[in-house]
């Protein structure tokens, strides 16, 4: 039998921030961390749906410690306000799970003018991580888990001069670009944490083919044949969210997990969570550096991990 939620160690008193915690993988991640005693800060955009998620968790775990906080990853102003409030309330953060995302939707722009999938899935999380880093890097054994997917193998490239993707937009191409960015951010961040001598680590997680609302939302928004196909297929063969969340839960809590690792289903898109090799042409140092620089410029943030590690707050 493989790794399950029963293998999550005691999380009593630890502070975990989970984005997109009002449904799907984020809801299950919040549920299992709360079950093990963590204080779970739920960063969510849809507050009505989030309140239902809280009721759902508390019905099963009456003593769950949950904190709902408004977070729209498609708005850098919202990310900043969320981060400032969370750090003000929790100077020490043990876990950050960059889980929220959108998939294969029609062309749209974030509040700051970036293509929606790149802006939400990567840039919002990049800015969030940067602004929570002071609370993470000075917390012993803190972890940052960023969720990617098999789309990280897509033949998409980041064009630093076209972050809005106004011309030649492809819903799946843009999704692949955002998932490549997620993986490269996870790896690039871990490299910087190691250089800084920090005890915090960064990991990637791939949930496999999971039956959440992600595919249905994609089909509703776009209505394309491939979106409709995946929305139907995932209902037949997709893993339930409770299983799909296991790779990110293992990356976040397994004492044996290490920085720069990737956790994914054993059989690519299904099965128990295992550590997978990080391979492929998409994980080149040059691409990681380009992504980091582009993200800093786009978010108007200087994300200097060494400087944050050296600042003891005094």
Percent of the chain with pLDDT over 70: 89
The reply to whether 224 falls in a domain is no
Question: Would you say residue 233 lies in a domain?
Answer: no
Count of domains in the chain?
1
Burial (CB < 10 A; 0-12, 13-18, 19+), residue 216, is middle
CA-to-CA distance for 115 and 311, rounded, in angstroms? 34
Instruction: List all residues 6 or more positions away from 42 whose beta carbon is below 8 Å from its beta carbon.
Output: 18, 21, 22, 26, 30, 50, 53, 54, 66, 67, 68, 69
pLDDT in tens, 269-313: 788 999 998 876 567 889 999 999 999 999 999 999 999 999 976
CB 111 within 8 Å of CB 80: no
Q: d(Cα 279, Cα 35) in Å, to the nearest integer?
A: 34
Query: In 3-state terms, what secondary structure has residue 145?
Result: strand
Alpha-carbon span 68 to 257, nearest angstrom: 28
Helix (H) or strand (E) segment spanning residue 18: strand 15-19
Res 270: pLDDT? 80
Is the model more confident about 227 or about 195?
Answer: 195
The pTM assigned to this predicted structure is: 0.91
**Residues 66, 55 contacting (CB under 8 angstroms):** no
Q: CB count, 10 Å around CB of 27?
A: 27
Which of 42-46, 90-94, 220-224, 263-267 is least confident? 220-224
Report if residue 125 sits inside a domain: yes
Q: Identify whether the C-beta of residue 11 lies closer than 8 Å to the C-beta of residue 38.
A: yes
Least confident span in 139-148, 183-192, 266-275: 266-275
For residue 57, is it within any domain?
yes
Residue 278 per-residue DSSP state: -
The model's pLDDT over 148-172, given as tens digits with 9 standing for 90+, comes to 998 887 877 889 999 999 888 999 9
- Domain assignment of residue 107, given as a range: 5-209+242-299
Q: What is the pLDDT of residue 237?
A: 45
Separation of alpha carbons 153 and 206, rounded Å: 12
Q: In what order do the strands lie in the sheet with 95-98?
A: 65-70, 39-44, 15-19, 95-98, 143-147, 201-205, 262-265, 273-276
Q: What is the model's pLDDT at position 225?
A: 52
Find the mean pLDDT for residues 169-187: 94
- CA–CA separation, 34 and 88 (whole Å): 21
Q: Are 57 and 30 within 8 A, CB to CB?
A: yes
Task: Tell me whether residue 289 is in a domain.
Answer: yes
The DSSP result for 143-172, as a single string, is EEEEE--GGGGSS----TT-TT--SS--HH
Report whether pLDDT(208) > 90: no
Segments of 105-167 assigned E as strands: 143-147
What CATH number is associated with residue 102? 3.40.50.720
Active site residues: 175
Q: Is residue 22 part of a domain?
A: yes
Backbone φ and ψ for 144, nearest 5 degrees, come out as: -120, 120
| Residue 24 domain flag | yes
Q: Sorting pLDDT into bands at 50, 70 and 90, what band is 90?
A: very high
Per-residue pLDDT, 271? 86
User: CB count, 10 Å around CB of 257?
Assistant: 17
Helices within the chain (DSSP H only)? 24-35, 47-60, 76-89, 116-117, 124-137, 171-195, 213-222, 225-237, 241-244, 246-253, 285-299, 305-310
Six token digits for residue 112: 């700051």
Length of the chain: 314
Give the pLDDT confidence of 16-31 residue by residue, as tens digits: 999 999 999 999 999 9
Does some domain include residue 307?
no
Residue 231 has pLDDT above 50, yes or no: no
The residue to which tokens 């919040």 are assigned: 30
């Amino acid at each position: 039998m493989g790794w399950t939620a029963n293998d999550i160690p005691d999380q009593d008193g630890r502070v975990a921030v989970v984005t997109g915690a009002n449904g799907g993988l984020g809801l299950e991640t919040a549920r299992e961390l709360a079950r093990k005693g963590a204080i779970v800060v739920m960063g969510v955009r849809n507050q009505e749906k989030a309140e239902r998620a809280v009721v759902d968790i508390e019905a099963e775990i009456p003593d769950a410690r949950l904190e709902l906080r408004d977070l729209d990853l498609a708005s850098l102003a919202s990310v900043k306000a969320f981060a400032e409030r969370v750090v003000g309330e929790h100077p020490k953060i043990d876990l950050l799970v960059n889980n929220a995302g959108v998939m294969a939707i029609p062309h749209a722009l974030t509040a700051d003018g970036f293509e929606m999938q790149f802006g939400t899935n990567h840039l919002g999380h990049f800015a969030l991580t940067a602004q929570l880093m002071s609370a993470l890097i000075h917390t012993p054994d803190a972890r940052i888990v960023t969720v990617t997917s098999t789309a990280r193998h897509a033949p998409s490239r980041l064009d630093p001069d076209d972050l809005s993707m106004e011309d030649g937009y492809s819903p799946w191409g843009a999704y692949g670009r955002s998932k490549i960015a997620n993986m490269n951010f996870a790896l690039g961040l871990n490299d910087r944490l190691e250089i800084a001598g920090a005890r915090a680590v960064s990991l990637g997680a791939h949930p496999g083919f999971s039956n959440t609302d992600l595919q249905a939302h994609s089909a509703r928004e776009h209505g394309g044949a491939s979106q409709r196909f995946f929305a139907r297929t995932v209902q037949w063969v997709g893993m339930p969210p409770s299983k799909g969340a296991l790779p990110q839960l293992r990356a976040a809590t397994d004492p044996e997990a290490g920085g720069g690792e990737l956790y994914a289903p054993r059989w690519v898109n299904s099965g128990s969570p295992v550590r997978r090799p990080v391979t492929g042409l998409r994980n080149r140092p040059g691409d990681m550096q380009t992504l980091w620089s582009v993200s800093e410029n786009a978010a108007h943030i200087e994300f200097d991990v060494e400087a944050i590690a050296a600042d003891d707050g005094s």
